[in-house]
Amino acid sequence: MFQIDKDKCLGCGGCTITCPKGIAIGSENKAEIINEEELIHAGGESVCPYGAIVLEEDDDIEDVFGVDEEIKDDDDQSMSF
């Protein structure tokens, strides 16, 4: 999942020219991703020459483990009945 590093974003709008359907300039004068698929097609991180578009690690695996832990906890509780 792409995110905007707001500390690095200058609000220059270059990304909105390269990827007008994927990024817009928001109220803080910083880029905001409005359509990630369009951003991927436009080049992803390379759309920003200042490195403000970053690809965050997908944490779905952690979510899955979190669910597993909940299931395990539920199992433990059901055994106590």
Residues that bind ligand SF4 (CB under 6 A): 4, 9-15, 31, 48, 50, 52-53
- CB nearer ligand SF4, residue 11 or residue 66: 11
Distance CA 36, CA 38 (A): 5
Amino acid at 66: G
- CB nearer ligand SF4, residue 13 or residue 20: 13
- CB nearer ligand SF4, residue 41 or residue 78: 41
Min dist CB 31 to ligand SF4, Å, is: 4
